[in-house]
Amino acid sequence: MGFCYFLWFLLFCMLLEGQIKGVSGLGVNWGTRLTHPVPPKIVVRLLKDNGFNKVKLFEADPGALQALGRSGIEVMLGIPNEFLASLASSVRVAEDWVAKNVSNYISKYGTNISYVAVGNEPFLKTYKDKFLQTTFPALKNVQAALIKAGLGRQVKVTVPLNADVYQTDTDLPSGGDFRSDIRTLMISMVKFLSDSGSALVINIYPFLSLYADPHFPKDYAFFNGNSTPIVDGSISYTNVFDANYDTLISALEKNGFASMPVIIGEVGWPTDGDINANIEYAKRFNQGLLDRIIKGQGTPKRRTPPDIYLFGLIDEDAKSVDPGNFERHWGIFYYDGTIKYALDLGNGRGLVAAKGVKYLAREWCVMSPQANLLDPNLTNSVNYACTYADCTSLGYGTSCGTLDARSNASYAFNMYYQTLDQRKDACKFNNLSTITKLDPSQGTCRFEIMIDLGTHQLPPSRSSSLAVGSNRNSLLLALLIGLITLITYV
């Protein structure tokens, strides 16, 4: 009898093993501003292989929304700021947007859209009040459109905000309050979100504290640093993330929203484009963050950790670099879904690379050995290449920052050549360049080969994968039933 019960327990554990996926409350941002994006079906498989059960999209990308259909992954769907004015102008506009981008994908593809994120950091000081009058009306109109579509309970609205919407006059978290110029607006919006049963979404970037201030204490940006604590009454803060988050919590408490749910919409660390954006620091920060999530560790003011969306999944070589060259390098994976650095996701699980990615030919465009560095056309040729391709890995403190002048030009030529799909005429820079079959990568500097978008080997269809899983589970269930029957008669 005891042996039978042991077998029953063992099989039951085997049945559950396949259902335990990822770290609870951990999501990731999937940006799509790439010249050569990984096909959406491969990205969805990448998400599932790495246990991400939540994803945030910045726009209603049809390929992404279709691929996420019936994947089991919860989606926060973003609306870019440029749509705020039209959405604020009319409920009908909001209804059309919801019908096309929410109802359509839920009903036709089974996409699990749980939030619509109206705008993205619209109250940033750098926008100089451009979206101040349209964000809240757009939020209310989208909410009304969701209710009219019968999705009011299933899909919630929110607005991802930058941490600059709150501040503290005492330099301590306990002094937190909403920014004085938008305080009334913020209180109205938070009340609306609270009444709607939604959550407040905040983006927190310790990296930017370091980027903006060279004198910022570096260890304070990380979770496992040896920084001098900031003492706030009975609380000692040892990292900027906790202090920043609790400043928000103080602001909520001060204005009557002590129990308001908060989601961290973006948090992470870039790996290139700045001296402090490197793989060592990114691994240190993200692993420290993951360790906290795995342990269920929150902040001094809120012991339970919020849902967190890492920023980001994959590097985006076509993203704007207005904030800095690091903007194209936030991914925990390179542009093609290959792993940048190891991360422990808990239970002995590490990152899993994308499967089924196909590449262009193994060839690179480099500066010709016969070309002269004093050629008067060289500077203009490099500038031209970097105008139309991503050269943010070049420069002081970057992954390719130690290249000599010839290799520097080669990197620029190759990025242009790859971006233009290795067209033969894309490696003609005034007789300064040539094509080589020898990989010119050196040290930390990767000379990329782009994804071949035309001949992709897609992963198995979801239905096939599910069939395998279903057959396995059905077999285990049959065995369990058989054992239970056996136990009954023993």
Active site residues: 121, 266
Check residue 264 and report its DSSP letter. E
How far is 170 from 251, CA to CA, in rounded Å? 13
Residue type, position 479, single letter: L
Backbone angles phi, psi at 416, to 5 degrees: -65, -45
Residue that has been written with the tokens 């920023």 in this structure: 311
Check residue 273 and report its DSSP letter. S
Do the beta carbons of residue 156 and residue 173 sit within 8 Å? no
Angle at the Cα of 36 from the Cα atoms of 32 and 38, rounded to 5 degrees = 65
What token pair was written down for 134?
A: 């349209």
10 Å Cβ neighbour count for 258? 11
Measure Cα distances from 479 to 2, 15, 483 in Å.
Answer: 17, 11, 6
How far is 386 from 338, CA to CA, in rounded Å? 24
How far is 191 from 260, CA to CA, in rounded Å? 9
Residue type, position 388, single letter: Y
Count Cβ atoms within 10 A of the Cβ of residue 173 and give its class: 0-12 exposed, 13-18 middle, 19 or more buried. buried
How far is 208 from 266, CA to CA, in rounded Å? 12
Q: Which residues of 346-379 are buried (b: 16+ CB within 10 A; e: fewer)?
A: beeeebbebebbeebeebbbbbbeebeeeeeebe
What token pair was written down for 186?
A: 């913020």
**In 244-379, which ranges are E strands?**
262-267, 307-310, 364-367
10 Å Cβ neighbour count for 398? 24
**Helix/strand/coil for 325:** helix
How far is 58 from 409, CA to CA, in rounded Å? 34
Angle at the Cα of 420 from the Cα atoms of 417 and 426, rounded to 5 degrees = 50
